[in-house]
Amino acid sequence: MSVPYETTAYEPAESPESPEEHLARLLGRALNSFELPDEELRRLDCALAHDSSLHSAHHSAGLHRETYRHTWLLADGCALTLWELVHNTAPGSEPQHEVYVDEEELRAATARLPLPSDTPDFELPVLVQLSPIPGPRHVYVPDDSADHARRLLRRAENPDQPDADTAALLKSAFAHQITQAFGRPCRAGRIGLGYSLYEHAFLLGDGREISLWEVEHTATPDGRHMCEVYVSEAAARDAMERRAAQVS
């Protein structure tokens, strides 16, 4: 008969693994891991998070077969899935593990197993929740992003601009997005003042995201255009409030 499989026994929740550790354990137990395309495995070098879920199960007369969907979230926002087949070919024999890059290969491998064909599978709907790291919030554009960060920091005139550690991190940026921020307005100050707030979001080589917040304004004694850069939106908006108060 078909029965659900205990997923807690398959991967204990109290022992979380990194995406790299999970992949290494999956490939280490798979009999056919050497057949996987190298280009697919190289893509997993930049995995940020992973999730595993039971896809289907078949238990009958001492024979069993389970299939699992292992999904990794990559730094570019894409997801990559490997399919694992776990089965025994004789009652009481040790489970064997196989892994495939697509569901068609999984189905073909499953069809070759000596399991009764008159018992339907127990299948679960696929619901993948990638955790603990969420996907990128921005639509990044690969560009000379490290140089963009350097030029942004170079034109900042505020003394409390991002420190050298932040600048060093941004040297590994390979993609970025610039968006104008709206929301709570600052006090108007004198007539003719101009304020703009921009978020410069950067995607780093290790998959992390860092945002710098740029304030452009003319709240200077001579009305000159000025650029300030901060590490948080709150700090940037507080600076806008202070500038407006000083010239009002």
Of the candidates 102, 96, 99, which has an alpha carbon nearest to the alpha carbon of residue 27?
Answer: 99
How many other C-beta atoms lie within 10 A of the C-beta of residue 20? 13
Report whether pLDDT(89) > 90.
no
| 160 vs 75 pLDDT, higher one | 160
Average pLDDT of the residues in 103-124:
71
Report, as an integer, the average pLDDT of 144-172: 93
Q: Where are the domains of the chain?
A: 7-123, 141-247
- Which pair of tokens denotes residue 18? 């990194």
- At residue 8, the pLDDT reads 29
> pLDDT tens-digit profile of 1-14?
333 333 323 333 33
225 or 84: which leads in pLDDT: 84
Tens of pLDDT, residue by residue over 133-150, are 444 456 776 778 899 999
Alpha helices by DSSP H, listed for the chain, are: 7-10, 19-29, 38-43, 103-111, 145-155, 164-169, 233-247
* E-assigned strand segments in the chain: 47-60, 63-74, 79-87, 96-100, 122-123, 141-142, 175-180, 195-203, 209-217, 226-230
Report the 10 Å Cβ neighbour count for 19: 22
Q: Is pLDDT at 125 greater than 50 in this prediction? A: no
Burial class from Cβ neighbours inside 10 Å (0-12, 13-18, 19+) for residue 90 reads exposed
Q: What is the DSSP letter of 172?
A: G
Residues contacting residue 141 through CB under 8 Å, at least 6 positions apart: 175, 176, 177
Residue 176 tokens read as 């970025």
> What is the rounded CA–CA span in Å between residue 141 and residue 76?
10
pTM of model > 0.85: no
Span 115-139, average pLDDT: 49
In tens, the pLDDT along 53-66 reads 888 877 777 778 88
Q: Identify which of 178, 174, 169, 176 has the alpha carbon closest to the alpha carbon of residue 213.
A: 178
Q: What is the pLDDT of residue 137?
A: 59
Query: If you average pLDDT over each of 37-51, 91-105, 160-174, 209-223, which comes out highest?
Result: 160-174
